[in-house]
Structure formats: C-alpha cells, structure tokens
Structure 1
C-alpha cells in the first residue's frame, strides 16, 4: 500500500472518529441542558458506529506465544498449539487465532 493511500485511510478514520466525538458531545450537551427526563425520552439516542474489528494476525499471535515461551511457559504453549490441532503456529487456521490468543494471554497469570 502506498504512503498516500495509507494517509488517505488514516484521514478518513480520523474524520469518522471526529464525527463520532461531535455526536457524543451534542448528545451530552442535550442531556445536561434538558428540562427533564420527558424531553430526553423523545429524542432518539445517537448511534456511535462500532469500531471496525481488525483481524488478529499470525504475527500478533506469534509475538504473544514467543513472549510466553521466553517467560518459561514453552510446554504450555505447545499444549495450546496441539489443543488447536497443530504442531506449529503456521498450521493453525486463522479463525482459531482469537481463541488461541485469549488462552495464551492468561498463561503465567495465575
């Protein structure tokens, strides 16, 4: 992706975030300047679009697993990989990444 297209995407995202902030600030201003609950009940609630969920990448999972392995949890990392049906990370289906990452992040926390 070229630098200009990256910049264009960043500008569009920044504009979307700004519009969401303006909408939220207007809703809060209306809420605090209203004459009671009856006035706010008639107004539709401002909808803030959910942020686009970015897919978890192989590199992100690899980084977390490497960190856990360096912290002395190599055997547990291998168990997680086997639990998800693979001997190495590159063999795991990308749809398994969120679950694998969630399980790996708790290693050593308890």
Structure 2
C-alpha cells in the first residue's frame, strides 16, 4: 500500500467517525425535543377588531399643489369633474376630512 492510499484511508476513517459523532448528537437532540413539555396554545376569547392603519393627514396645500400639476398637464376638465364628485366647484369648498380621498383620487388622474 502506498502513502496516498494510506492518507485516503485515514481521512475516510476520520470522516466516518465525525459523521457517527454527528449522528449521535442529532439523536440526542431529537430525544430532548421529544421529551420537552408541549404547551397548548388556546385562541383568545376576546375578538380584536381589525383597523386600517391611519393614513397620513393630507393638507389643503398638498391637494392644491397636486391639482395644479394635473391642471398644468392638461387635465383641467378632469380636475373640475373630480372636485364636483366631492360636492365642490373649487378646492376651498371641499371638506377638510375629504382631502385625503381627493388627493388619492387626483393621483389617479391621467
């Protein structure tokens, strides 16, 4: 037997020992997990109502800027139509609580 075969045999033997040791460790971990107490998770009795996250408050200045951009882009008639959907002929007549909805609707204008 030459030296290279002896080295390979030794290396394979060491590898086999290491794999055997790893297998023993895995079996021990499996045993510990299977012996661990199992805790039952019970669903909560109280109902939690899902709420949409609050949207950032939109200011009249933000709406005005966006509507001006849309108007300058040639969408003046669509801007006026959009204001009408909110019951207004001009931005100052839009209710402050509608600014967010108006802003999002204006973003969609094309």
TM-score, normalising length: structure 1: 0.49
